[in-house]
Amino acid sequence: MQQENNVMGDFLKDLMQKGKREDGRTAMDYRNIAIRTNVMPNAEGSAEVTMGHTKVLAGVKVGLGAPMRDKPNEGNLMTAAELLPLASRYYEPGPPSPDAVELARVIDRGIRAANVIDMEALFVEPEKVWEVFIDIYILNYHGNLFDAGTLAATAALKSARMPKAEKVGEEITVIREGNLGKLKTKNVVTSCTFGKLFGTPILDPDGNEESFMDARVTIANDENVVRAMQKGLGGSFSTKELDELLDVAFEKSKGMRNMISNAAGE
Amino acid sequence: MGGGEKPELFKDGKRLDGRGPEDLREIKIIPDYIKNADGSAYIEWGNNKIIAAVYGPQEALPKHVQDPQRAIIKCRYQMAPFSSLEEHGRTGPNRRATEISKVTKEVFENAVLLDYFPGSEINLYIEVLQGDGGTRAAGITVASVAMALSGIPMRDLPYSVSVGKVGDKLILDLNKIEDNYSDADMPIAMSPKSNDIVLLQMDGNLTKEEIKQGLIMVQKAGETISRIQREAIKAPYERIAERYKK
């Protein structure tokens, strides 16, 4: 591939062969992570996550809608991701790119499969349920949007308030301000994303590493089980590698779950 | 225009949020907010929270949009779907956002020395993360700072604020409730060196006298806004200077 000739690629390859990374991390280290919740108080929930130079904002809105045909007693969850053109020179305005769609769907699957939201608590009356919208806004791209996005989305959900529906006659009004309870959550999910850079698996690839890695795998788990996985790019992982990465994911997720609890004020 | 009962917007010389008629909301600008951008800034203007970022100048693409004489500006203003207290919004540009993007672009076509960069494009992105009335004004104000920080030469540093009317009283810097229920709304952007008007929109009803009066109010507020803009632009350099003093 052409990337072989690239100066940055050669530099990263050289480092990798010495077991080093550009920012001094070892292969299985995260960059510094910070979570701030309720940064956009107009939204029912919000959280900003920085992971190194990656900056992601998740906003949660809750509104009334119709249930899905196959789940008439549960609320709806809709997750979208926006690769804002202000986040990178290479992002362009327009409809969601395949990358943005994949990002949103992988984050959505983790949250859904781990039952982060109590979906049955979102039932209002027949044909009327609460809908939860998660919008993941990428503000600055520098790699590993999957983990930063999952953290932001989960922290925003855990700190979200729950509007009230008041029915007068046939008309339902939504009350979004004042004394409100919290959105009912049941679980916490986090994800760990690994890249394969010149043959070596690394945790939390940054923007430069992502340009040269040839495989990626995201593992979303809670305390006990894996809830979602996604392998990406053209390269591959061996079964042995995946086995080791699963151990790392369970180990690393403990700290992230604590960070979410702290950020959500639990 | 808002539904429901009209609240009393002006009572005993005070507005709903306690401001007098000519008071600005609190404005805070954080420079260099987006690391990847060539220039960027974040503004909190009352409850508005907005990011502006500039990328460029770079080769204008597709090629047929290139102007061999000067740079072109591409501007996108957008509101996040979670930016309002009401329902979840729809993503992507709507007619309102398209118009605001256009008039904002025209403000910077005036301010930027475009003929320095023939064949190039300058991308200006304004993302409203939380909106509470006056987002286009706050967006232009913070975009000025982002543009200046990108190092692109400008002939002036435009600022923007709106004037409105409640009953027969003119008020400066309308928030969301005031915007919804006021009798007139007039967003204005000015070039402070020349005091030229670079953006003017209006709807509602205003007499000629009121427009004149409104423009004076804008220019007076402009002194404060310009000062906050200049301080934000200087801040990163002052931090560097501070470091080297030691």
Domains of chain B: 22-245 (3.30.230.70)
> What are the beta bridge partners of residue A63?
A131
Chain A residues in contact with B130 by the CB 8 A cut-off are 40-43
Is A148 in contact with A192 (CB distance < 8 Å)? no
pLDDT digits (tens, 9 = 90+) for A201-229: 999 999 999 999 999 999 999 999 999 99
**pLDDT by residue, tens only, chain B of 246 residues:** 444 577 888 888 899 999 999 999 999 999 999 999 999 999 999 999 999 999 999 999 999 999 999 999 999 999 999 999 988 888 777 889 999 999 999 999 999 999 999 999 999 999 999 999 999 999 999 999 999 999 999 999 999 999 999 989 999 999 999 999 999 999 999 999 999 999 999 998 999 999 999 999 999 999 999 999 999 999 999 999 999 987
Query: Which residues does chain B have within 8 Å of residue A131's beta carbon, measured at their own beta carbons?
Result: 88
Q: Where are the domains of chain A?
A: 2-263
Average predicted confidence (pLDDT) for chain B: 94
**Superfamily of the domain at A2-263:** GHMP Kinase, N-terminal domain (3.30.230.70)
B92 or A108, greater pLDDT:
A108
Q: Is B121 on the interface with A (CB under 8 A)?
A: no
Distance between CA B193 and CA B199 in Å, rounded? Answer: 15
What chain A residue is nearest to B129 in terms of C-alpha separation? A40
Contact between chains at A80 and B81 (C-beta distance less than 8 A): yes
| Contact with chain A for residue B236, Cβ under 8 A | no
For helices B208-245 and B135-149, the axis angle rounded to 10 degrees is 40
Helix (H) or strand (E) holding A169: none
End-to-end, the C-alpha distance of chain A in Å comes to 49
Smallest CA–CA distance from A82 into chain B, residue: B91
Decide if B91 touches A, using CB distance below 8 A: yes
Count Cα atoms within 13 angstroms, Cβ side, for B155.
17
Closest alpha carbon within chain B to A63: B87
